[in-house]
Amino acid sequence: MTRRSSLTALLGAVALLAAGGTGPAVARAPSVDATVTDQSGKPVLDAVVTLTPLEGPPSALRPTTAAMDQVNKEFVPAVLAVVVGTPVSFPNRDNIRHHVYSFSPAKKFELPLYIGTPSAPVVFDKPGPVALGCNIHDWMVAYIYVVTTPYFAKTGADGRVRLEGVPAGPYEARVWHPRLRGEAVRPITLAEDEDGRVTFSVTLRSEPRPVPRREPYEGQQQSG
Amino acid sequence: MVVFVGLFAVVLTISLLVVAGFLRAAARTEIDEELRLASTLFLRQLDARSQQLVVATRLLSGDYALKTAVATVEHETTRSVLENHRRRIGADVLMLVSLDGVITADTRPVDQHRATFALPELLEETEQTQDPTWVVPLDGGLFRLTIVPVLAPDPIAWLCAGFAIDDRTADELRRLTGLHVSFLRRQGTGFAMQASTLQSAERADLERGLADARQRGVVRIQGRPHVARAEQVAADVLVVLQRPLIEAFAPYNRLFWILAAVGGAGVLLSVLGAILVARRVSRPVLALADAAGQVAAGDFDASVPVHQRDELGKLAATFNQMVAGLRDRERVRAALQRAERLKRFFSPQLAEVLSAGDESVLASHRREITVVFCDLRGFTAFAEAADPGEVMRLLRDYHAILGPLIARYEGTLERFTGDGLMVFFNDPVPCPDPALRAVRLAAEAREAVQKLLDGWRHRGYVLGFGTGIAMGFATVGRIGFEGRFDYAAIGSVTNLADRLCQEAGDGQILISGSVYAEVERLVEAVRLGELTLRGFARPVLAFSVLNLRACPPLPAASSVSTGDAGRAG
C-alpha cells in the first residue's frame, strides 16, 4: 500500500483544486461514494471508478509519478490507475531479473531483463488499460489503467471507494476492471452540498485457467 | 476290445467338441475384451498424443517473439513466425485467430487471412477445458486441432495447431495396437472413410458394413469376417478398430488342434494298449484254454508257456503243475493197470517191479529155481465124460484154490495147461527158502484139492491130484514173439519136476533129492529110492512128502534187485 500515498496525494490535489477558493460562502465540493459488486453480489477489489465531467472544458491533469514494483516475483500493485502522461517507474525489488512488457494498444513497451530500477520511467501517454507481463514469469500480471480525468479511485477489498471533492455537475461514471466483461458506464449528476452515491454491479470473467496466474510453489502469500 | 476303443474314441470326440465349443465362446469373449482393451488403449494413446500436442502448442504460444509478432499485427511477419513455429512442433497447420474469431494468420497454402474461423464454438470451449483438443473435419480432411490462447499476459489471440489424421497416422496407431485403424467422418446419413490402414477395396467394405461393425462387432472385409469396435472420438467422427477373426482366433485354433492331437494320440495309445492287453491277457488265456482242451482230450503232455510274472503267469504255472500232477497220476494209473495184468503171471511184488517199468528182470538169465508141477489124475477121462459146464466148474474151483496159494507163497506161475500148472520160486524175485515154499505150497494145495476132489468123487468122478518138485539151475526169461510173451524157465529142472509129477499118484508130492536136502528137517518124507524117469539117463533120487513137521512163519521174499542177478551168474 505504499503507492497509495501518491494516489491519495493526487486525490488531495484534485480535492483542493475542486474546492477552489475555500470559504464558508463557497459551496463545498461533494464527494461520491462508489460501490462495485460482481454478478454474484460479492464486492470487487481493484476496480477503478472514474468520473468524467460531461460539461465544461477538459479537466486539467497534473501527472505525478507512479511506480509498479516487482516484489517476490509479483507486480505490486496488481492494478494501478494513472492519468495520461504519468511516468511510471518499474523498480525491481527482487534479486533476480525481470522482463516487463506490454503489447496493449495503450502502451507497448518492453524492459528486457533488468535488475534494480531502470533509469527512465515509462510514460503512459494514451488512455486505456495496459496489461503488464513478465516474459520469464508467466504468472506475473498487473494492469495500469490510464485515465483522462482527475476523478478516479480504486476499490478496496470491500468493493467501496470514495471520490472526494468532485464539483457538482453531470458526469459519466465508469468502472474498469481487468476481468470486466463489457462496459460499466452510467451518467451521474452531482448537486451542490450533496454527496453522490453510485453503485455498479458488474460482470466479471472467471480467471482464465490454462496458464497459472500465480507462481505455483512460493506465491501463496502474495495475494492481492 | 474294439467296442471299448470305439467307445473311448466317441467319448473323446464328444468331449473334444464340447471343449472346442467352450473354447470358441471363451475365445469370442476374450477377443471382444481384448478389442475393448485395445480400443481403450488406443483412445488413451490418442489422448496422450493430444496432451503432447497441447503442451507443445502452449510452449509455442508462450514464445515472446510470437507475441511480439502478433502484437505488431504485421501480417507477413506473423505468418512467417507461424510457419517457423509449425515446423518446431511438426504440426500440419498453424493459425492465429483473433479474440473475436477472425483468422489473422495461417500457414495453409491458401492463406485464409481475414476469414472467419470455421469452428468458433471451439474458441469458447477452449476457455472452459483443460484439454483443448478436438478431432475435427477441416478442409475436407480430418485434423486433430489444439487451440490455446496467446497470453501477453492477457489473451491477445488464439493459436490453433492442426495435425492431419491421415493414413500415416493410422499406420502409426496400428503399430501401437496391432489392429487395423480407420477414421470415418459423417457424411449425410452415412460415414465416409477419411484415413485408414486398410486397402481401398477393404475401405469400401468397411463403409458398407459399418452398421454391423457398430452393432454386432463383426464386419466382413473382402469376404473374411473381422472383429471390429467403433468408438466415437468426435461428434461426427468414428474410429473403427478391427482385426481378422481368423487371426484373433489363431491361438484358440492352435489350442484346439493341440487338444485334437492329444486326443488322437490318446485313441492311438488306447488301441496300442488294447492290443498289448490282448497280447498279455487274451493270448495266455487262449493258450490255457487250448491246453485245457488237450488235457481234456487225454493229452497230459500239454503245457502252456509261462512268460509273465502276473496273475496269468501264476495261473499258467499252476495249470502246468496241475497237468504234471495229472500226468503223474495217469502214469501211476497206467502202471497199476499194467501191474494188475502182470499179477496174473507174477507175484504182486514182481508185478509191481515190472509195472514200475523195470523190465531188466525179464532179460534171460540163469538161476537156481525150485519148480513145482501139479495136475489132476483122471482129468482127461473126466473131461471127455463130463458135461463141459462141469469141466469148467471143476477147473474154476481148482484154480480158485491154487491161485491164492501161489500168490501167498510168492511163486511165479509159469503156465496153465488145463488141469496142470507150473510154478517156480526164487525168480524173478529171489527168496531165501524156495524149496520150503514149494513144498508148503504143494502140501496146502494137496489138502485143499483133496477136499475139492472128495466132493466130485461122491458124484462118481474118479479124480486125483499129484505134485512134483525139483530144484536146479534153469534159464529164465522172456520168450515168445512180439504180441505174445511168456516168462519161462527152461532147463532139466523143469523136466524133472514134470516127470516127478507124472510119477506121483493121487495125493502124492514127489520131490527130488536136492529139494529134500533143503527141507529135510521140516518135512516127513518117504524115500522112494532112485526112479528111472523118461528123458533122464540116470535114475533120480526121489522122496514122497507125507507131512510138514512144523510151520515156521513164512519169511517174506526179498525184493528184486540187479544185485541178485549176479548170484544167478
pLDDT recorded at residue A1: 41
In chain B, DSSP finds a helix count (H) and a strand count (E) of 17, 18
Per residue in B494-537, pLDDT tens? 999 999 999 998 899 999 999 999 998 888 999 988 888 888 88
Contacts of B67 in chain A (CB under 8 A): 101, 103
Is B148:B205 a contact under the CB 8 Å cutoff? Answer: no
Q: Which residue on chain B is closest to A205 by alpha carbon?
A: B127
- Has residue A221 been placed in a domain? no
Task: List, in order of start, the domains of chain B with CATH numbers.
Answer: 298-339 (no CATH), 348-568 (3.30.70.1230)
Cα(B198)–Cα(B205) distance, integer angstroms: 10
pLDDT recorded at residue B128: 75
Q: Under an 8 Å CB criterion, which residues of B touch A?
A: 58, 62, 64, 67-68, 70-71, 127, 130, 132, 148-149, 151-156
User: What's the average model confidence in pLDDT over B328-347?
Assistant: 75
Q: Which of A133, A140, A210 sits opposite B152 (nearest CB)?
A: A133
pLDDT recorded at residue A26: 52
Contacts of B130 in chain A (CB under 8 A): 209-210
How does DSSP assign A68-83, residue by residue? -EEETTEEESSEEEEE
- Has residue A120 been placed in a domain? yes
Taking alpha carbons only, the member of A122, A114, A104, A89 closest to residue A178 is A104
- Type of residue found at A191: A
Q: What is the CA radius of gyration of chain B?
A: 67
Q: Which residue on chain B is closest to A134 by alpha carbon?
A: B153
State the ipTM, two decimals: 0.73
How does DSSP assign B416-482, residue by residue? EETTEEEEEESSSS--S-HHHHHHHHHHHHHHHHHHHHHHHHHTT---EEEEEEEEEEEEEEEEEET
Classified as helix, coil or strand, B527 is strand
Q: What cell numbers appear for B516 in the block? A: 529134500
Contacts of B154 in chain A (CB under 8 A): 131, 141, 178
Contacts of A103 in chain B (CB under 8 A): 67-68, 70-71, 152, 156
Contacts of A141 in chain B (CB under 8 A): 153-154
Sequence-separated (6 or more) residues with CB below 8 Å from residue B560? B349, B350, B353, B358, B361, B428, B429, B430
How does DSSP assign B372-422, residue by residue? EEEEEETHHHHHHHS-HHHHHHHHHHHHHHHHHHHHHTT-EEEEEETTEEE
Phi-psi region of B411 (alpha: psi -120 to 50; beta: other; left: phi over 0): beta
| pLDDT band with cut points at 50, 70 and 90 for residue B481 | confident
Percent of chain B whose pLDDT exceeds 70: 93
Contacts of A178 in chain B (CB under 8 A): 154
Is A124:A88 a contact under the CB 8 Å cutoff? Answer: yes
Sequence-separated (6 or more) residues with CB below 8 Å from residue A189? A168, A169, A170, A171
Q: What is the 3-state secondary structure (H, E, C) of B313-336?
A: HHHHHHHHHHHHHHHHHHHHHHHH
Q: Give the A window 163-192 contacts with B, CB below 8 Å.
A: 178
Q: Is residue B160 predicted with pLDDT exceeding 50?
A: yes
Q: Which of A133, A209, A210 sits opposite B153 (nearest CB)?
A: A133
Q: Give the A window 2-61 contacts with B, CB below 8 Å.
A: none
- Has residue A25 been placed in a domain? no
Per residue in B378-421, pLDDT tens? 888 888 888 888 888 888 999 899 888 888 888 888 877 888 88
Give the residue carrying C-alpha cell 540116470: B538
- Type of residue found at B371: V
Lowest mean pLDDT among B2-16, B202-216, B312-326: B2-16
How does DSSP assign B128-142, residue by residue? H-SS-EEEEEETTEE
- Has residue A184 been placed in a domain? yes
How does DSSP assign B250-280, residue by residue? HHHHHHHHHHHHHHHHHHHHHHHHHHHHIII
Q: Which of A103, A140, A209 sits opposite B152 (nearest CB)?
A: A103
Give the residue carrying C-alpha cell 514173439: B481
Per residue in B51-94, pLDDT tens? 888 888 888 888 888 888 888 777 888 888 899 999 988 889 99
Per residue in B233-257, pLDDT tens? 888 888 898 888 888 788 888 888 8
- Interhelix angle B167-177/B2-61, rounded to 10 degrees, is 130
Cα(A96)–Cα(A91) distance, integer angstroms: 12
Is A126:A107 a contact under the CB 8 Å cutoff? Answer: yes
Helix, strand, coil tally for chain B in percent (to 5): 50, 25, 20
For residue B153, the distance in angstroms to the closest alpha carbon of chain A comes to 5
Taking alpha carbons only, the member of A103, A111, A160 closest to residue A128 is A103
- Has residue A58 been placed in a domain? yes
Q: Which of A103, A134, A140 sits opposite B67 (nearest CB)?
A: A103
* DSSP label at residue B362: G
Contacts of A208 in chain B (CB under 8 A): 127, 149, 151, 155
pLDDT recorded at residue A4: 44
Per residue in B121-143, pLDDT tens? 888 887 777 778 888 888 888 88
Sheet holding A98-104, edge to edge: A79-83, A137-147, A128-134, A98-104, A107-114
- Has residue A217 been placed in a domain? no
Taking alpha carbons only, the member of A187, A181, A169 closest to residue A47 is A181
Contact B155 A208 (CB under 8 A): yes
**Which of B74, B154, B158, B159 best probes binding to A when mutated, by most A CB atoms within 10 angstroms?**
B154
Domain total of chain A: 1
- Bridge partners (DSSP) of residue B191 are B186
Side-chain-side CA neighbours of A23 within 13 Å: the count stands at 3
Q: Give the A window 77-106 contacts with B, CB below 8 Å.
A: 101-103
> At B65, which helix (H) or strand (E)?
helix B64-72
Cα(A31)–Cα(B168) distance, integer angstroms: 71
Q: What cell numbers appear for B122 in the block? A: 471451439
The sign of the dihedral angle between the CA atoms of B196, B198, B200, B206 is: negative
Q: Which of B58, B64, B71 sits opposite A108 (nearest CB)?
A: B71
Q: What cell numbers appear for A138 in the block? A: 508467466
Taking alpha carbons only, the member of A21, A17, A22, A18 closest to residue A30 is A18
* DSSP label at residue B513: H
Give the residue carrying C-alpha cell 508462450: B62
pLDDT recorded at residue B558: 52
Contacts of A140 in chain B (CB under 8 A): 153
How does DSSP assign B220-245, residue by residue? EETTEEEEEEEEEEETTEEEEEEEEH
| pLDDT band with cut points at 50, 70 and 90 for residue B568 | very low
**Which of B99, B147, B151 best probes binding to A when mutated, by most A CB atoms within 10 angstroms?**
B151
Give the residue carrying C-alpha cell 516127470: B499
Contact B127 A138 (CB under 8 A): no
User: What's the average model confidence in pLDDT over B200-213?
Assistant: 85
**With a threshold of 0.90, does the pTM exceed it?**
no
| pLDDT band with cut points at 50, 70 and 90 for residue B553 | low
For residue B95, the distance in angstroms to the closest alpha carbon of chain A comes to 19
- For residue B352, the tally of other CB atoms under 10 A from its CB is 20
User: What's the average model confidence in pLDDT over B27-46?
Assistant: 85
Q: Give the A window 116-145 contacts with B, CB below 8 Å.
A: 131-135, 138, 140-141
Cα(B437)–Cα(B445) distance, integer angstroms: 12
Q: Average per-residue pLDDT in chain B?
A: 84
Residue A110 belongs to what domain range?
Answer: 4-19+30-201
- Bridge partners (DSSP) of residue A169 are A190
Q: Which of A131, A141, A210 sits opposite B149 (nearest CB)?
A: A210
Cα(A88)–Cα(A77) distance, integer angstroms: 12
Contact B151 A103 (CB under 8 A): no
Contact B132 A210 (CB under 8 A): yes
Cα(A190)–Cα(A193) distance, integer angstroms: 9
Cα(B544)–Cα(B466) distance, integer angstroms: 11
Cα(B132)–Cα(A214) distance, integer angstroms: 21
* Degrees to nearest 5, angle at CA B253 with B251 and B254: 60
Contacts of A210 in chain B (CB under 8 A): 58, 130, 132, 148-149
CATH number for A42: 2.60.40.420
Q: Which residue on chain B is closest to A138 by alpha carbon?
A: B153
Contacts of B68 in chain A (CB under 8 A): 103
Q: Which residue on chain A is closest to B71 by alpha carbon?
A: A103
In chain A, DSSP finds a helix count (H) and a strand count (E) of 1, 17
How would you write the pLDDT of chain A (224 residues) with one tens digit per residue? 444 444 444 443 343 344 443 444 455 678 899 999 999 999 999 999 999 999 888 778 888 899 999 999 999 999 999 999 999 999 999 999 999 999 999 999 999 999 998 889 999 999 999 999 999 998 899 999 999 999 999 999 999 999 988 888 999 999 999 999 888 999 999 888 788 899 999 999 887 554 455 565 544 444 43
